[in-house]
Amino acid sequence: MGILNATPDSFWEGSRAETVEKGLARALELEEEGADILDIGGESTRPGAAYVDAAEEESRIVPLIREIRKVSGIPISVDTRKSSVMRAALDAGADILNDVSALEDDEDMASLAAAADIPVILMHKRGIPVSMQENPVYNDVVAEVADWLVARARFAEEAGVARGRIVLDPGIGFGKRYEDNVALIAGVGELASRGYPVLMALSRKSCIGRMTGSDAADRLAGTLAADIVAVMRGASMIRVHDVRAARDTLAVLQEIEKSGIH
């Protein structure tokens, strides 16, 4: 999944596309690099970010989706918490919902997803971006996040979303301490064992920076290492800024694993 942020304030400058023209160019570049899915967001959810209203978010992503659809059929995921934005995105040609609130923030989102029969990515977060890093506390972060996500998956199923269309994301960096993020990467197998595909979104995040001592621009190698660990432990999808590098890394992993040497 290639990241395309139609925002002026996402945490890594390299992911931002502040005009439709720049967004379209970046979308086609990500597709050429081998992205299976484009994930488009119009509201930054980095720590400390303020939410934007639905009209602003829609104005950022819907024209971009329309332009992409004129030249490409690549599946498009929309990173939004708002049903009105998702409805407009679907009308423009989007295919997948990526909801950082796991259908909690908008009571109409679950029914919209069920009626549209689209895949839904449910992410765990604690709090809201502007304050979510203020003293989050867990006793057993892997079990607590897994239990919460499974409960949200069951909620989605009860609303009519097909079980086979649900993906879980532990929300690395969303209301977690450094040690929590590390534990969730190491423990992705526990989440994967709950019976749903798992998406890991690790690309250039602050926990990678702490592990490596690097700022966002220099976290590619650390990201690739974390992605390998996540995939080897059961993740089915990775959300990345650097599609070509990620595909090359996983191609090597795949070839080595074919040999049967463990």
Active site residues: 205, 239
Dump the DSSP string for 137-172: --SSHHHHHHHHHHHHHHHHHHTT--GGGEEEE--T
Question: Are the CB atoms for 258 and 247 separated by under 8 Å?
Answer: no
Read off φ and ψ for residue 144, nearest 5 degrees. Answer: -65, -45
Rg from Cα positions in the chain: 17
Q: Which residues of 82-96 are buried (b: 16+ CB within 10 A; e: fewer)?
A: bbbbbbbbbebbbbb
Helix, strand and coil in the chain, % to nearest 5: 50, 10, 40
CA contacts within 13 A on the Cβ side of 114:
17
In 3D space, the residue among 162, 223, 158, 249 whose CA is nearest the CA of residue 197 turns out to be 162
What would the two tokens of residue 158 be?
A: 């009860």
What would the two tokens of residue 96 be?
A: 């997948």
* CA distances to 151, 179, 230, 250 from 137, in Å: 20, 11, 23, 33
- Please name the residue ranges forming H helices in 213-242: 220-232
Question: Are the CB atoms for 96 and 78 separated by under 8 Å?
Answer: yes
